[in-house]
RNA sequence: GUCAGUGUAGCUCAGCCGGUUAGAGCACAGCAUUCAUAACGCUGAGGUCGAGAGUUCAAGUCUCUCCACUGACACCA
C-alpha cells in the first residue's frame, strides 16, 4: 500500500520552533510505523516561502526574500536531519516544479468555472495574511493575534467559488474519520453549516509570490500556493509536471497531520480546491494539539519559547521525542513541564528500560560467556512471552491510530513486567547452584527476548534509542518489515553480547 | 451571547453500556535488596470524583441548575 503522509509546509517567516518540531516528530513516527508494516511511504515535509509577510521580514533584515528563504529553509532541513526525521520529500514553494504545478492547477479550476473576479475590501492583517471581519468605520483596529494595526484595503482579487462546494463539503464531513480528533470535526461542521463564502486566492501588489497567469499584477494568495505544495512535492525532479499523473506518484494523501490552527484550510478549502480540479481528496486530516510551557502559552512577547535546537543539543533526540509523544495525548494540548520532563526521561528511559537492558545483559555475560544462552526448557509456562504477544497487537493498533501515548504506555508496561520478573525469579540467587544453570538460562532468555521486543516496538518513536538497545542485545539482523522481528524467539542463542554501556544518561537538572 | 468540550490524589491522566472498600504513572515517606545506570521490587500516605439538586435499590458514571477553564462562531473593539 502506498501511504502519503504530510506535515504542514512551514512558513519561513522565522526560524523553526518547537510546535513544528512536534508535528514533524509525530509524522516521522507515523511514517516509520507504516514503513515497518511494509508500506511504501511518501513522507512529505517542506516550507512555504511566499507572501507579503516574508517580503516584509526580508526588507526589515535588508536582504532579498530569496536569501531570507534560503537561510531559513536550510535551517529547517538541518534541524530535521538532526532530529532523525525520515522525510522522503522536502518541498519548497519556490521550487520550479511548483510554479508549473500551480499554473496547471489554476487552469483546471478556471476550466471548472470556479474562478471569478471580485473586489475584496476590508481590514487586513499582514501577519495573518487575511482580512478580518470588521466594520468599515472601525477606528484603528488591531489584530487580536498579532496585536498590530490593521490596514484598510480595497483591491481587485480573484476569487475561488467555494460556495459552490457547500453540499460536497458537507457530505465529506459526514465521513466520521475524515477529521480527527472527533471534537474538532464538530467545530468544522458547525462552521460549514453557516454557509461557505468564496475566498480570494490572489493579491495585488505583493511582489513575493507566484504570478497568476493572465492577470497582470496578481500573485497567488499564500494559502492557495502552499497547499498545492503537497502535490508538487510528489513529482520527481527529473519528471515533467503533469497533474493528470499525480496519482501514480502517491496522491491522494493518506493523512495530513497539522496543528489545530490550520484545520479549516485543510478540511474545507483544500478539499474544495481539489474537487474543482478533479483530483482525489486526502483520506484524513488530523489536527493535533498545541504545546504550552509551564502552563503558559509560548510566545516571543513573553520570551518563554523553547528552542528545538537548544533542546536537542542539551537533551538529545530520544529524550525529547519520548517526552512529546509519550506524555501528551496527540489530539490534545500538552504542557511542557521541565520537572516532569526530567522525571519521565529518567524513570522511563534510563531506569525502567535502560537499566533492564543493563542488568540483564550483565548477568547473561557473567554467567554464559558473553553470549545469549540457549533455552533448554521443553514447553514451560512463560508469562513474559504471553504478555509480549498480547502487547504487540495493542501497540500496533495504537500506532495506527496515532495514539502514541497509549502505545508508549504499553511498551513501558512490558519493560516493567520484565523487571518485576527478574525480581521474582532472582536469578542471582539461583545461579549459585550450578544445577540451576539451565533454568536460569531459560529465564534470562525470556527477559532478553522481552527487551528485544521492547526495542523493536520503540522503533517508530525512538529510532536512535531502539538501535542502541538492539545492538546491545547483539541483534543486528533486523528486517525492514518488522512483522518478522516482532515474533517471539528471534534472538539467536550464542549470538554474542557486547559489553553494556548506558543507552541514555540521566538528566541531572 | 450561541454551540461544543473539560473539571477525578501535589503533577499528568484512566475510569465502557450506572453496581462490591475510586485506579495508574510520576512526585513524597518507609521497607527490602545487590544482577544493574544510588537502578529494580514491596508497603504506605494522599481524593467528600468542580458545587448543588434530582432520577434510581444503587451515580465520577444518567438529568437539570450553577461555577471555573478551553475552543469554535457571533458581537464588540
Radius of gyration of chain A (CA): 27
Residue partners of A23: CB distance under 8 A and separation at least 6: A7, A8, A257, A258, A259, A288
Q: Which domains does chain A have, with CATH numbers?
A: 2-288 (3.40.50.620), 337-485 (1.10.730.10)
Phi, psi at A12, each rounded to 5° = -85, 30
Q: What is the pLDDT of residues A404-448, one digit of tens each?
A: 999 999 999 999 999 999 999 999 999 999 899 999 999 999 999
Residue at shortest CA–C1' distance from B3: A190
A270 contacts A313 by C-beta, under 8 angstroms = no
Looking at residue A139, its pLDDT comes to 66
Smallest Cα–Cα separation from A311: which of A273, A345, A280, A358?
A345
Residue at shortest CA–C1' distance from B75: A134
Looking at residue A182, its pLDDT comes to 81
- Report the distance from CA of residue A46 to the C1' of nucleotide B19 in Å, as an integer: 54
- Report the distance from CA of residue A183 to the C1' of nucleotide B55 in Å, as an integer: 29
Nucleotide nearest to A139 (CA to C1'): B77
Spatial distance between the Cα atoms of A27 and A489, rounded to a whole number of angstroms:
31
Cα angle, residue A284 at apex, residues A458 and A23 outer, rounded to 5°: 45
Strands A296-297 and A291-293, sheet pairing: antiparallel
- Report the distance from CA of residue A167 to the C1' of nucleotide B64 in Å, as an integer: 37
- Report the distance from CA of residue A445 to the C1' of nucleotide B51 in Å, as an integer: 56
Q: Which residue has the cell 470588521?
A: A134
Helix, strand, coil share of chain A (percent; to 5): 50, 15, 35
Nucleotide nearest to A143 (CA to C1'): B77
- Report the distance from CA of residue A321 to the C1' of nucleotide B30 in Å, as an integer: 35
Classified as helix, coil or strand, A312 is helix
Q: Which residue has the cell 533454568?
A: A439
- Report the distance from CA of residue A461 to the C1' of nucleotide B49 in Å, as an integer: 34
Q: How far is CA A444 from CA A372, A420, A427, A456, A502, in A?
A: 9, 13, 8, 18, 19
Nucleotide nearest to A138 (CA to C1'): B77
Looking at residue A376, its pLDDT comes to 72
Residue at shortest CA–C1' distance from B2: A190
Residue partners of A114: CB distance under 8 A and separation at least 6: A160, A161, A164, A276
Q: Where are the beta strands (DSSP E) in A424-494?
A: none
Residue at shortest CA–C1' distance from B32: A423
Spatial distance between the Cα atoms of A12 and A377, rounded to a whole number of angstroms:
61
Question: Chain B bases under 7 Å from protein CB?
Answer: 3-5, 11-14, 25-27, 34-37, 39-42, 70-77
- Report the distance from CA of residue A338 to the C1' of nucleotide B48 in Å, as an integer: 33
A491 contacts A434 by C-beta, under 8 angstroms = no
Nucleotide nearest to A347 (CA to C1'): B26
Spatial distance between the Cα atoms of A235 and A89, rounded to a whole number of angstroms:
10
Alpha helices in A112-253 (DSSP H): 166-174, 182-193, 222-227, 229-232
Spatial distance between the Cα atoms of A10 and A15, rounded to a whole number of angstroms:
10
Smallest Cα–Cα separation from A466: which of A454, A449, A477?
A454
Nucleotide nearest to A295 (CA to C1'): B11
- Report the distance from CA of residue A424 to the C1' of nucleotide B75 in Å, as an integer: 66
- Report the distance from CA of residue A403 to the C1' of nucleotide B16 in Å, as an integer: 18
- Report the distance from CA of residue A434 to the C1' of nucleotide B36 in Å, as an integer: 22
| Cis preceding-peptide flag for A252 (omega within 30 of 0) | yes
Nucleotide nearest to A191 (CA to C1'): B73
- Report the distance from CA of residue A508 to the C1' of nucleotide B9 in Å, as an integer: 27
Beta bridge partner(s), residue A3? A41
Residue partners of A94: CB distance under 8 A and separation at least 6: A49, A50, A66, A69
A423 contacts A437 by C-beta, under 8 angstroms = no
Residue at shortest CA–C1' distance from B72: A187
Q: What is the pLDDT of residues A364-396, one digit of tens each?
A: 999 999 999 987 776 667 889 999 999 999 999
Spatial distance between the Cα atoms of A125 and A504, rounded to a whole number of angstroms:
47
Digit-by-digit pLDDT tens for chain A (509 residues) are 899 999 999 999 888 989 899 999 999 999 999 999 999 999 999 999 998 889 989 999 999 999 999 999 999 999 999 999 999 999 999 999 999 999 999 999 999 999 998 887 777 776 666 666 666 666 666 666 566 677 777 888 899 999 999 999 999 998 888 998 887 888 898 889 888 989 889 988 888 999 999 998 899 988 899 999 999 999 999 999 999 999 999 999 999 999 888 899 999 999 999 999 999 999 999 988 888 888 777 777 777 888 999 999 999 999 999 999 999 888 888 888 898 999 999 999 999 999 999 999 999 999 999 999 987 776 667 889 999 999 999 999 999 989 999 999 999 999 999 999 999 999 999 999 989 999 999 999 999 999 999 999 999 999 999 999 999 999 987 777 899 999 999 999 989 999 988 899 899 87
Nucleotide nearest to A137 (CA to C1'): B77
Spatial distance between the Cα atoms of A7 and A25, rounded to a whole number of angstroms:
9
Looking at residue A375, its pLDDT comes to 77
Q: How far is CA A431 from CA A43, A357, A441, A497, A498, in A?
A: 50, 19, 9, 19, 21
Looking at residue A133, its pLDDT comes to 65
Nucleotide nearest to A418 (CA to C1'): B40
What are the grid coordinates assigned to A440, written together?
Answer: 536460569
Spatial distance between the Cα atoms of A469 and A358, rounded to a whole number of angstroms:
10
The interface pTM score, or ipTM, of the predicted complex is: 0.90
Nucleotide nearest to A132 (CA to C1'): B77
- Report the distance from CA of residue A183 to the C1' of nucleotide B54 in Å, as an integer: 29
Spatial distance between the Cα atoms of A156 and A120, rounded to a whole number of angstroms:
6
Amino acid at each position: 500500500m502506498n501511504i502519503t503522509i504530510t506535515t504542514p509546509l512551514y512558513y519561513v517567516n522565522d526560524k523553526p520552533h518547537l510546535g513544528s518540531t512536534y508535528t514533524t516528530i509525530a509524522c516521522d513516527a507515523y511514517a516509520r510505523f507504516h514503513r515497518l508494516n511494509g508500506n511504501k511511504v511518501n513522507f512529505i515535509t517542506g516550507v512555504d516561502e511566499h507572501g507579503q509577510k516574508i517580503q516584509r521580514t526580508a526588507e526589515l533584515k535588508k536582504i532579498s526574500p530569496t536569501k531570507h528563504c534560503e537561510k531559513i529553509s536550510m535551517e529547517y532541513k538541518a534541524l530535521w536531519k538532526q532530529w532523525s526525521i525520515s522525510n522522503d520529500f522536502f518541498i519548497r514553494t519556490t521550487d520550479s516544479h511548483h510554479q508549473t504545478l500551480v499554473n496547471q492547477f489554476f487552469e483546471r479550476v478556471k476550466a471548472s468555472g470556479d474562478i471569478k473576479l471580485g473586489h475584496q475590501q476590508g481590514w487586513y492583517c499582514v501577519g495573518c495574511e487575511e482580512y478580518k471581519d470588521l466594520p468599515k468605520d472601525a477606528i484603528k483596529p488591531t489584530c487580536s493575534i498579532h496585536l498590530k494595526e490593521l490596514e484598510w484595503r480595497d483591491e481587485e482579487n480573484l476569487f475561488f467559488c467555494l460556495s459552490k462546494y457547500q453540499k460536497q463539503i458537507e457530505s465529506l464531513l459526514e465521513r466520521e474519520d475524515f477529521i480527527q480528533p472527533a471534537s474538532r470535526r464538530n467545530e468544522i461542521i458547525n462552521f460549514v453549516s453557516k454557509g461557505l463564502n468564496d475566498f480570494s486566492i490572489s493579491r495585488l501588489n505583493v511582489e513575493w509570490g507566484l504570478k497568476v497567469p493572465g492577470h497582470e499584477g496578481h500573485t497567488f494568495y499564500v494559502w492557495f500556493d502552499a497547499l498545492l505544495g503537497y502535490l508538487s512535492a510528489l513529482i520527481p525532479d527529473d519528471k515533467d509536471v503533469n497533474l493528470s499523473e499525480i496519482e501514480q506518484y502517491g496522491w491522494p494523501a493518506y493523512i495530513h497531520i497539522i496543528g489545530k490552527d490550520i484545520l479549516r484550510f485543510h478540511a474545507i478549502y483544500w478539499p474544495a480546491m481539489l474537487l474543482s480540479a478533479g483530483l482525489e481528496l486526502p483520506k484524513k486530516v488530523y489536527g493535533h494539539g498545541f504545546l504550552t510551557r509551564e502552563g503558559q502559552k509560548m510566545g516571543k512577547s513573553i520570551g518563554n519559547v523553547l528552542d528545538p535546537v537548544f533542546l536537542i543539543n542539551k537533551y538529545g533526540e530520544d529524550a525529547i521525542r519520548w517526552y512529546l509523544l509519550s506524555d501528551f495525548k496527540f489530539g490534545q494540548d500538552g504542557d511542557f513541564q521541565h520537572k516532569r520532563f526530567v522525571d519521565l526521561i529518567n524513570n522511563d528511559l534510563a531506569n525502567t528500560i535502560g537499566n533492564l537492558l543493563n542488568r540483564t545483559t550483565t548477568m547473561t555475560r557473567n554467567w554464559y560467556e558473553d553470549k545469549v544462552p540457549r533455552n533448554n526448557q521443553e514447553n514451560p509456562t512463560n508469562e513474559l512471552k504471553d504478555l509480549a504477544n498480547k502487547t504487540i497487537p495493542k501497540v500496533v493498533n495504537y500506532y495506527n491510530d496515532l495514539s502514541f501515548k497509549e502505545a508508549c504506555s504499553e511498551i513501558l508496561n512490558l519493560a516493567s513486567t520484565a523487571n518485576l520478573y527478574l525480581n521474582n525469579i532472582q536469578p542471582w540467587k539461583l545461579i549459585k547452584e550450578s544445577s540451576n544453570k539451565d533454568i536460569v538460562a531459560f529465564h534470562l532468555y525470556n527477559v532478553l527476548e522481552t527487551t528485544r521486543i521492547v526495542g523493536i516496538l520503540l522503533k517508530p518513536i525512538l529510532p536512535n534509542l531502539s538501535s542502541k538497545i538492539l545492538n546491545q542485545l547483539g541483534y543486528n539482523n533486523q528486517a525492514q518489515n518488522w512483522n518478522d522481528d516482532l515474533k517471539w524467539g528471534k534472538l539467536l542463542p550464542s549470538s554474542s553480547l557486547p559489553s553494556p554501556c548506558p543507552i541514555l544518561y540521566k538528566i541531572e537538572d
